[in-house]
Chains A and B, each alone.
Chain A
């Protein structure tokens, strides 16, 4: 079946603009995760959804970052007033929801803030 998909694959924006990144998880997966991969910080957890609720958003770096999930499926990560340090690859993953379940990753969205 189809894997996790993310769009856009690349996004270039100017400092101060808002951006939206989209994630389509594997059908039937109740858990959805956002991670960020950057040269300086490596791979970092951002937020975790179980269904439409986010029991763990401890990794969001500032209040400029927000995420939502609707219909237990698609998720959107929004970054407001982007800064150059937001430049990174944003990875989405989904799983069947148990703590031992494999997280399947999408190809990522490469965000460049000029």
Chain B
């Protein structure tokens, strides 16, 4: 079965500093990879996804992630944090070619300090 590990359940960054959220997965074949963001009392919103092709993926709000097969990782970064980035972030995977369901990591809550 797939599993997803997000290092750090809480991350605190200063406004303007780099945001780095780590995600590692376990799979015998490269899965499809997703990052979602959840603001308080809201559903999940897709930030970006990797399915095939270029391994560096750019998403909304200035976020990007790089798929590294050799490291089974899909870390999320943003060069400069903004106060509005305070939220919970979830990494998720699905198994091609038949797997539609998402398996989520435990989530990382980001706090942005002024």
Binding site for B on A (CB under 8 A): 4, 31, 33, 35, 42-45, 48, 50, 56, 58-59, 91, 93, 95, 99-100, 102-108
Contact = CB atoms under 8 A, between A and B. Distances in A.
Contacts of A31: 100
A44 B90 CA distance: 12
Contacts of A45: 101-103
Interface of chain A: mostly helix, strand, loop or mixed: strand
Contacts of B44: 91, 93, 105
Which of A4, A91, A105 counts the most B-chain CB atoms under 10 A from its CB?
A: A105
Nearest to B46: A102
A99 B96 contact: yes
Interface extent on B, as a size class? 20 to 34
A67 to B, nearest CB: 14
B62 to A, nearest CB: 19
Interface of B: 32, 36, 41-46, 49, 51, 90, 92, 94, 96-107
Contact of B101 (A42, A56, A106): A56
B107 to A, nearest CB: 7
Contacts of B96: 99-100
Given A35-B102, A43-B107, A103-B46, 10 more contacts: A33-B100, A42-B105, A43-B102, A56-B101, A58-B101, A100-B49, A100-B96, A103-B102, A104-B46, A105-B44
A100 B101 contact: no
Nearest to B44: A105
30 contacts: A4-B43, A31-B100, A33-B101, A33-B102, A35-B102, A42-B104, A42-B106, A43-B92, A43-B102, A43-B104, A45-B101, A45-B103, A56-B100, A56-B101, A58-B101, A59-B101, A93-B44, A99-B32, A99-B96, A99-B100, A100-B51, A102-B49, A103-B46, A104-B46, A105-B36, A105-B44, A105-B45, A107-B42, A107-B43, A108-B43
A100 B32 contact: yes
